[in-house]
Structure 1
Amino acid sequence: MVLAGAIGYLWFTYSDLKQQSAEEKAELERQKVQLEDELKDIYSQYDSLKTENDTMNLKLQAEQARIEKLLKINANNVYKIRMYEKELGTIRKVLKSYVVQIDSLNLANQELRAENLEVRQELRRVESEKQELTEVRNELSSKVEMASVLSAKNIVIASLNKRSKEINKTIKVEKLRICFTLRENPILEPGPKIIYLRVVRPDDVILTSGVNFFDFQGEQIVFTASREVSYENVDVDMCIFWNNDGQLVPGTYQVHLYADRREIGSSSFGLR
């Protein structure tokens, strides 16, 4: 009877211990799964923290490798579970510090991008102003250049006979007189100016006496006659004469005046 009671007690005790062991094992498994889930979640968080900073990315990858190594451990006892928990605590702290660092980097990058954008906008503004100034300068230079040119006004052409009376019969014309006024221009540099005359016949032949050439826009062209005048930035009345040596023919003639390698005036007249 006593033996039977002892056996019953032992069986009860064994069953109770077995049940406790099963419960502890289940609890360890639950803790293990919970820790693994948290590690996997942190692993995913590291993925989301990837940045444009290569050094930081290497650090994140190193922590992910650390997590992968932990996940391969078979934590089947209390010691390993506690090691898991300790490592997890360290990993949480590292993650938190990296989040702070990355936030700081992102903020710095945003500030840099904003600053770069501001600098680019300023550069574009400066370039635009520079372009505008260049255009204005070129326009002013062009206007000054145009304004710095002699011009002739009141061009009057007369064909004269021997008695210096005006006549338009070709055979009786002894000379041509071309009178005009050089306009006042305060921008021009004062001094001697050579005025060239070109008289073009109806058949486009240039009236000339001898070999007369002058430079016009980089080319040597024939002129009919010329005269030097002292120009002092005020109106100057002057005339240029050409003696007929038999080159005149009936028709309409074109007259052109030149100075400083530019045409400064033109007119026309007719002979019969």
Structure 2
Amino acid sequence: MTDQKNNNALKILTGILAVALVALAIYTVRFYNEEKENQELLQRQKAVIEEELNDLIVRYDEAIGENEELDTELIAARQRILVLRDSVQDMEANLRVLDRYRNELNNLKRERDELFRVVDSLSNQNQRLITEMDSTNNVLLERTRVSDSLRQRTENLADQVDRASELKVSGLRGEGVIERNSGRLVVNDRTRRVDKIRTCFTLTENELTEAGEKELYVQVYNPNNNLVGDQIAVQHDGGVMVYSAATKVYYENNELDVCILANTLEENLIEGTYKVLVYNGAQLIGATNFSLR
């Protein structure tokens, strides 16, 4: 009788253990599936964050270069996004870390919106400036008044006015010449007969350029890229530059024809194409080529 009771108890215990094992197996499978689904969900969320960060990078790439006034801020913001994206790519996905990166992403979006509002504002101001300069006939004659008005609206727009005031040249040409005993110069393109290299051009009319004495320089390079001329070394803010020839002119905002002669040495005159560069001080204002045979 006791053995039978023990057998029954054993059967009941075995049954309970079997049920427990089945339940454990079901729970394990369900837990595995849920964990797998959670991981897949986390990976999808991670991919979404990466995609949004990549979109931000593209937006900043498009804005950089088009908005010189804000390039430094835009580049710094883009670098922070790159660092965050690389961190997201390298990290193991989990809910806590994703939440932190999602918060950082939201902060970057707010920063982007603020920067791009400034970009749009500057673009609108630039467009208004172009419209005013095109439509107002007396803007050039009233340069000071316009510049003062623009500085009150934004310091950044003043850079565009500065670029418009740069000295410019037209009709730039280089040529070999023979110097007669009378002093008359005759154009010649044969290396064995050339005495000097002449560079001629016209300083164009520009009311925005400051009138006064201008120091003009020429560099002439032969086909071997050797400098032809007197090797004039001049100290500028950015360092020393060496020129072939130089001259000074007085510019009164009207068209002014200029020719500069550079001395030559026979060994520097070879057949081929010569490069001519014209400078106002250290600023390059024109370039051209000519050939000698």
Which TM-score applies when normalising by structure 1?
0.49
Which TM-score applies when normalising by structure 2?
0.45
